[in-house]
Amino acid sequence: MLTHRKLNSCRTLSRAGLLLIGLAFLAASAAGVEAQRLWTEQAARQPAVPTLQQLNDALLDLTEQVLPAIISLQVRGDEGAAPDLPRNHPPVPDPSTPITGSGFIIKANGLAITNQHVVQDKEDIHVRLFDGTQARAKVLGRDTIGDMALLQIETETPLPVVPLGDSDALKVGEFVVAIGSPFGFEHSVTFGMISGKRRNFLRSSVVGGYLQTDASINTGNSGGPLLNMRGEVVGVNTATIRRGVMGFAIPINAVKASLTQLHDYGHVKRAYLGVRIDPLDRDMIIRLGLESPRGAYIHEVLKGQPAQQAGLAIGDIIVGFDGREVNSPFDLQTAVAASPIGKKVRIEFLRQQERQTVELALGEMPEN
């Protein structure tokens, strides 16, 4: 027979045994969960790589700062009307449906920039701001050759703006951010770098050569900003090739050079020499007895234009423009486009291997 003391002792041992069994079961369960887990977790406060964290924080600050100044555009086209796109530009949605493009606000009163090929000649333009607000906009100025348009958004309150930077100061390899509405996904942000400058693409001579970037740009990004790490617009996203692998943007300095005319006159007047030119190829160099392929070969002189009036002729090779070397047709076109109408310039050219000089006043480029 068990005494009272022995009974209490047995009960104590039983409780201790149950406690040990319970602890063993919990430990086995925890081990089992750990064994079944298919991922690894770090401590909640595990620090990130400092330099990467700084970059990430900078990108977050940049996008939060500029997104309110980015706009999404819908332009309703005419049934059956074909968009007037620059050569080699990727296709846009059917013109009978709203065309989604992008833009950005440059002044609190609602002045905004986009591409001319986004708005074309349409007046029914609707703007959506980052906060979802919708408004109408009208076109104040169009630059078909430079593919730029200046908009006035209807607003009763000041709007957020994004500052314009200096595209000439950009360096290849510099980080950039592109913002727009690719395929209708509004206010999308992509990140990359400047892959090249002064690219000869589309109407590159008018804008001084395009900026090339690997930041993803697709249909709907047109007119949106390309930003540097200071949050400044350094380019206007305009075109892409190879399904967004390479994007091209108009340098913002070319845009700034045209803004006053777009605002005051509704269009842009550019200087004009009045010649059609070609690059020098190997056969030309041999046939003309030249030492190098440097210069712009004149294959046509337009009647009544400054070049003809100054005596330039077919076969002349322009090698200098107002004190600057001309190594290619691109150099000449860029220099002329950047000059004011009526300016007297000095043209250096080769005629039958003899270097000659002539002075002329630049004319105005015809609209066509």
Do the Cβ atoms of 255 and 130 come closer than 8 Å? no
What is the pLDDT, as a whole number, of residue 41? 78
What is the percent of the chain with per-residue pLDDT over 90, rounded to a whole number? Answer: 61
Q: Is residue 116 part of a domain?
A: yes
Do the Cβ atoms of 270 and 206 come closer than 8 Å? yes
* Last residue in a domain, options 217, 249, 265: 265
What is the pLDDT, as a whole number, of residue 252? 96
- Answer yes or no: do 210 and 193 share one domain: yes
What is the pLDDT, as a whole number, of residue 80? 45
- Answer yes or no: do 115 and 187 share one domain: no
Do the Cβ atoms of 231 and 65 come closer than 8 Å? yes
Helix (H/G/I), strand (E/B), else coil: 9 = helix
Read off the CATH number of the domain in which 216 is found: 2.40.10.10
* Last residue in a domain, options 124, 153, 182: 153
Q: Please spell the DSSP secondary structure of 294-346, one letter per residue.
A: -SEEEEEE-TTSHHHHHT--TT-EEEEETTEE--SHHHHHHHHHTSPTT-EEE
Report whether pLDDT(293) > 80.
Answer: yes
Which entry of 222, 258, 316, 331 is annotated as an active-site residue? 222
Report whether pLDDT(59) > 50.
Answer: yes
Span 184-213, pLDDT tens digits: 899 999 999 999 999 987 778 788 899 999
Helix (H/G/I), strand (E/B), else coil: 130 = coil
- Answer yes or no: do 131 and 68 share one domain: yes
* 117 classed as catalytic: yes
| Mean pLDDT for all residues in the chain | 85
What is the pLDDT, as a whole number, of residue 361? 96
Span 126-173, pLDDT tens digits: 999 999 999 999 999 999 989 999 999 999 999 999 999 999 999 999
Q: Is residue 6 part of a domain?
A: no
Q: Is residue 297 part of a domain?
A: yes
Q: Please spell the DSSP secondary structure of 107-126, one letter per residue.
A: STTSEEEE-HHHHTT---EE
- Answer yes or no: do 248 and 330 share one domain: no
Do the Cβ atoms of 48 and 57 come closer than 8 Å? no
| Confidence label for 325 from pLDDT (cuts 50, 70 and 90) | very high
Exposure class string for 320-348: b at 16+ Cβ within 10 A, else e? bbbeeebbbbbbbbbbbbbbeeeeebebb
* Last residue in a domain, options 214, 241, 265: 265
Q: Is residue 158 part of a domain?
A: no
Q: Is residue 8 part of a domain?
A: no
Give dist(CA 64, CA 44) in Å, integer. Answer: 26
Read off the CATH number of the domain in which 320 is found: 2.30.42.10
Q: Is residue 319 part of a domain?
A: yes
Q: How many structural domains does the chain have?
A: 3
Span 28-45, pLDDT tens digits: 555 555 557 788 877 766
What is the pLDDT, as a whole number, of residue 75? 84
Report whether pLDDT(1) > 50.
Answer: no
- Answer yes or no: do 198 and 236 share one domain: yes
* 188 classed as catalytic: no
Q: Is residue 180 part of a domain?
A: yes
- Answer yes or no: do 171 and 259 share one domain: yes
Give dist(CA 299, CA 191) in Å, integer. Answer: 43
- Answer yes or no: do 220 and 295 share one domain: no
| Confidence label for 232 from pLDDT (cuts 50, 70 and 90) | very high
Which entry of 147, 214, 316, 331 is annotated as an active-site residue? 147
What is the pLDDT, as a whole number, of residue 7? 46
Do the Cβ atoms of 191 and 183 come closer than 8 Å? no
Do the Cβ atoms of 101 and 191 come closer than 8 Å? no
What are the start-end ranges of the H helices in 90-212? 116-119, 204-207
- Answer yes or no: do 260 and 319 share one domain: no
Domain housing 214: 167-265
| Confidence label for 235 from pLDDT (cuts 50, 70 and 90) | very high
Q: Is residue 46 part of a domain?
A: no
Q: Give 45's strand partners.
A: none
Span 71-95, pLDDT tens digits: 999 886 554 445 555 555 555 545 4
Which entry of 117, 181, 187, 188 is annotated as an active-site residue? 117
* 147 classed as catalytic: yes
- Answer yes or no: do 257 and 174 share one domain: yes
Determine what percent of the chain falls in helix, strand and coil, rounding each to the nearest 5.
Answer: 30, 30, 40
Q: Give 325's strand partners.
A: 320
- Answer yes or no: do 319 and 352 share one domain: yes
**Angstrom distances, CA of residue 49 to CA of 53, 56, 59, 80, 81:** 6, 10, 15, 55, 53
Span 328-362, pLDDT tens digits: 998 998 899 889 999 999 999 999 889 999 999 99
- Answer yes or no: do 112 and 179 share one domain: no
